């Protein structure tokens, strides 16, 4: 899954013609295929130059975009471990968010150790698997191709299925409450 994401990036040759500048399997993954993140592209909040040939994913990774920036990611959510203690899940969640450069986005984890809140508006698409969106006051079960517009709310992705759930996310810096 996350280790098989092929990215094709287009650009321009010296004559201004459209060409492929990158065609590769992305290797920049944090975590595993069961629970992890692969960054596809990002913007840093500055002007976007379509002729810039640099690879946007070579910077240190953070799931949280910089001011006025974006992150384009694939991520996987592992099935819940029914035998795991609250303490062990809290340690796993804290370590995962720290690895994602987002240890600071967990203001209220009473409902789940995986709860988090970012200053972003996110377009999230479930590609495969089963998933539940957990919010402070309710939850929604998702099926493949369901889309969530996540607007800076405290939330968690809970997998009550048997296989990892795979999602695409575009996270955009935003002013949120």
pLDDT of residue 93: 92
- Residue 46 resides in a domain: no
Specify the residue for token string 């048997």: 162
Helix (H) or strand (E) run with residue 91 in it: helix 86-99
- Residue 25 resides in a domain: no
- Residue 59 resides in a domain: no
- Residue 133 resides in a domain: yes
Specify the residue for token string 């384009």: 72
CATH classification of the domain holding 96 = 2.60.120
What are the φ/ψ torsions at residue 7 (nearest 5 degrees)? -120, 130
pTM: 0.83
- Residue 124 resides in a domain: yes
Mean pLDDT, consecutive 10-residue segments, the chain of 177 residues? 83 85 83 83 80 73 88 94 92 92 91 93 94 93 93 93 95 86
What does DSSP assign to residue 51? Answer: T
pLDDT of residue 58: 66
Q: Which residues form the domain of 110?
A: 74-173
């Amino acid at each position: 899954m996350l280790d098989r994401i092929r990215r094709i990036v287009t650009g321009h040759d010296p004559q201004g013609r459209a060409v492929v500048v990158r065609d590769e399997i992305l290797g920049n993954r944090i975590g595993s295929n069961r629970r992890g993140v692969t960054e596809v592209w990002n913007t840093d909040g500055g002007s976007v130059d379509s002729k810039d040939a640099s690879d946007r994913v070579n910077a240190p990774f953070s799931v949280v975009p910089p001011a006025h920036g974006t992150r384009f990611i694939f991520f996987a959510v592992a099935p819940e471990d029914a035998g795991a203690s609250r303490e062990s899940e809290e340690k796993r969640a804290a370590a995962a968010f720290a690895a994602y450069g987002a240890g600071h986005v967990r203001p209220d984890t009473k409902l789940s150790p995986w709860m988090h809140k970012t200053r972003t508006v996110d377009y999230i698409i479930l590609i495969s698997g089963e998933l539940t969106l957990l919010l402070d006051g309710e939850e929604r079960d998702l099926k493949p191709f369901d889309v969530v517009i996540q607007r800076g709310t405290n939330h968690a992705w809970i997998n009550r299925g048997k296989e990892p759930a795979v999602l695409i996310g575009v996270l955009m810096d935003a002013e949120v409450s």
